[in-house]
Chains A and B, each alone.
Chain A
């Protein structure tokens, strides 16, 4: 089960994503974001799209990864319901995102996410891994 929760901000929304590994945190953050955008359980797995992102450190990589997915949503009209991290390093992530073309009549588009931000960004290891990302909406 995707493991994430939302935190309230007056103008924006925060996601806290959990996982037993950094890979899982990346995946859960993406689930969190797409669950805001649409009813992603209604999204069929029709296509697989490779996603590659690079950043100076792993925290920023998480933001870059989410923004890459937003780019695909906005520019290519793709919406995803499942993510697989193929390779994750400190500065680099390669993943597969599965989903289909956006169909406003079926996907119940809810919130436009402008971007994942660097504000108060945190990726931490405690009992498990967790990350906090604030989305500008």
Chain B
């Protein structure tokens, strides 16, 4: 196990390289972002560095096969993996996006303070839990039919806004304005549609959540101020969900397509879960178009949930969302592949950036950063576990130069779900949360145990490494006072 210790070449306190000589077939080196302590955890889980090396086999990969500090074992690609491939002669891999396509996070601010919310938190959480379908087998409040689903898939969050779920301004503060234009609903199977339609407008289960949080500590007052966060104690809302069964089905459909494509194009891979096709091939283009539909579905999903959140709070406080300052700070994808232009060897190159459990982190001045944020950079939303805290960071120029504008996405598990179930009891976890002043409603008791703080890395270490390495910069930390979970 510890042999990884010798294999990894230390670049500096936060960077560890896997040289191409590790395995014949690696086209580029691997690069892990970690500090000494975190490296022990990563090495302890032998397979994730191996997966970083495997990703380096992908035809057309440029730069390095990157692993963010929250890297952990995934299928094919590690979670926390970032890889950019040349659009011209490189490949696209559904495994580099994952099953929960555009799983992502959205942050809203409010002008409420902890003292306004605490006395009513039971009511707020109860109302949100009632308004937002959560948990397995929960159907959505929205039923789209036939051609309407095509519009969801083509227009994403814009579809939702046009239906009255939210404001035009929300789109401005969403990655890609909540719509990938490459979407082509014809590339999505009937099965995926059937799985997706009943789940539109649902939070889902597992690690997905909605949290009422209070700002705990501000590190960068200027950036925080620009994002609408002005003081400790201010209440913010974090929504974490994705594309539900719709994304799982599209991923599965295209893993099959790619399995055949690998044979057809004679691509040699060390792991069949890395199945891929040339970006420009019919298979690659079809996946990109289908994946864009799923990304749009997820943005529409978060948009609807945002609307119900506003409705619920507005009802409880008897003030309009605008009066409550319920403004969207940003919405970012954690699992996505995007065609972007990046500097490679000093030249602008069109690449397909796979971010699987990684967040886009564009710096100040980048044209894709909303005008309002252009002096500080794109907000990076990094959820932690439900018992501790989450972070907001900002993208940097260094991320542009090293990680194709990417950074970490969250805490990452340290304990399997079954171990958490064996070691912890639901009533203990509930007591712990209550002792920390966190009110919660969960759809299942097992979720409570599986998602306990103990099962996760401390997200502050992850964020610290990304900050230390300079691929994102901390702005503020917030901790939950109310949680709903599927």
- Residue in chain B with minimal CB distance to A54: B256
Task: For B446, give its contact among A12, A110, A119, A136 (CB under 8 Å).
Answer: A110
In the complex, A117 has a CB within 8 A of chain B: yes
| Inter-chain contact B249/A10, CB cutoff 8 Å | no
In the complex, B221 has a CB within 8 A of chain A: no
Q: How far is the CB of B139 from chain A (nearest CB, A)?
A: 8
Q: How far is the CB of A55 from chain B (nearest CB, A)?
A: 7
| Inter-chain contact B416/A9, CB cutoff 8 Å | yes
Contacts of B249 in A (CB 8 A): 71, 74
Contact (A112, B205) CB under 8 Å given A56-B260, A75-B194 = yes
8 Å CB contacts to B: which residues of A23-74? 37, 55-56, 60, 64, 67, 70-71, 74
Contacts of A70 in B (CB 8 A): 248
- Residue in chain B with minimal CB distance to A121: B272
Interface centre among B204, B206, B412, B416 (most CB of A within 10 A): B416
Contact (A10, B73) CB under 8 Å given A67-B252, A75-B198, A115-B252 = yes
In the complex, A91 has a CB within 8 A of chain B: no
What count of chain B residues pass the 8 Å CB interface test? 47
Contacts of B137 in A (CB 8 A): 77, 102, 104, 109
In the complex, B7 has a CB within 8 A of chain A: no
Contact (A118, B255) CB under 8 Å given A10-B73, A75-B195 = yes
Contacts of A1 in B (CB 8 A): none
| Inter-chain contact B272/A13, CB cutoff 8 Å | no
Contacts of B33 in A (CB 8 A): none
A to B contact number (C-beta, < 8 Å): 99
| Inter-chain contact B73/A9, CB cutoff 8 Å | yes
In the complex, A97 has a CB within 8 A of chain B: no
Q: How far is the CB of B466 from chain A (nearest CB, A)?
A: 20
| Inter-chain contact A118/B272, CB cutoff 8 Å | yes
Contacts of A74 in B (CB 8 A): 195, 199, 245, 248-249
| Inter-chain contact B273/A119, CB cutoff 8 Å | yes
Q: How far is the CB of A61 from chain B (nearest CB, A)?
A: 11
| Inter-chain contact A10/B260, CB cutoff 8 Å | no
| Inter-chain contact A11/B73, CB cutoff 8 Å | yes
8 Å CB contacts to A: which residues of B249-273? 249, 251-252, 255-256, 259-260, 271-273
Contact (A12, B248) CB under 8 Å given A60-B259, A75-B194, A137-B417 = no
Contacts of A77 in B (CB 8 A): 137, 198
Stretch of B18-26, B60-68, B74-82, B173-181 at the chain-chain interface: B74-82
Contacts of A129 in B (CB 8 A): none
Task: For A114, give its contact among B99, B256, B412 (CB under 8 Å).
Answer: B99
Task: For A117, give its contact among B256, B273, B415, B444 (CB under 8 Å).
Answer: B273
Q: How far is the CB of B135 from chain A (nearest CB, A)?
A: 7
Contacts of B86 in A (CB 8 A): none
In the complex, A127 has a CB within 8 A of chain B: no
Contacts of A110 in B (CB 8 A): 444, 446
Q: Given the complex of chains A and B, what is the CA–CA distance between A119 and B269 in angstroms?
A: 13
Q: How far is the CB of A125 from chain B (nearest CB, A)?
A: 20
| Inter-chain contact B413/A11, CB cutoff 8 Å | yes
Q: Given the complex of chains A and B, what is the CA–CA distance between A6 and B204 in angstroms?
A: 24
Q: Given the complex of chains A and B, what is the CA–CA distance between A18 and B212 in angstroms?
A: 46
8 Å CB contacts to B: which residues of A105-137? 109-112, 114-115, 117-119, 121, 134, 136-137
A positions within 8 Å CB-CB of B: 6, 8-13, 37, 55-56, 60, 64, 67, 70-71, 74-77, 102, 104, 109-112, 114-115, 117-119, 121, 134, 136-137
12 more A-B contacts (CB under 8 A) besides A12-B73, A12-B75, A115-B99? A11-B413, A13-B418, A55-B256, A112-B136, A112-B205, A112-B206, A112-B486, A114-B100, A115-B252, A117-B273, A118-B273, A136-B98
Shortest beta-carbon contacts, A-B, top 7: A119-B75, A74-B245, A75-B194, A117-B75, A75-B195, A109-B136, A112-B205
Question: Could you write out 26 A-B pairs with CB less than 8 Å apart?
Answer: A9-B416, A10-B45, A11-B72, A11-B79, A12-B73, A12-B75, A13-B416, A70-B248, A74-B195, A74-B245, A74-B249, A75-B194, A75-B195, A75-B198, A77-B137, A102-B137, A104-B137, A109-B135, A109-B136, A111-B450, A112-B206, A114-B99, A117-B75, A118-B273, A119-B271, A136-B248
B positions within 8 Å CB-CB of A: 45, 72-76, 79, 98-100, 135-138, 191, 194-195, 198-199, 204-206, 245, 248-249, 251-252, 255-256, 259-260, 271-273, 275, 412-419, 444, 446, 450, 486
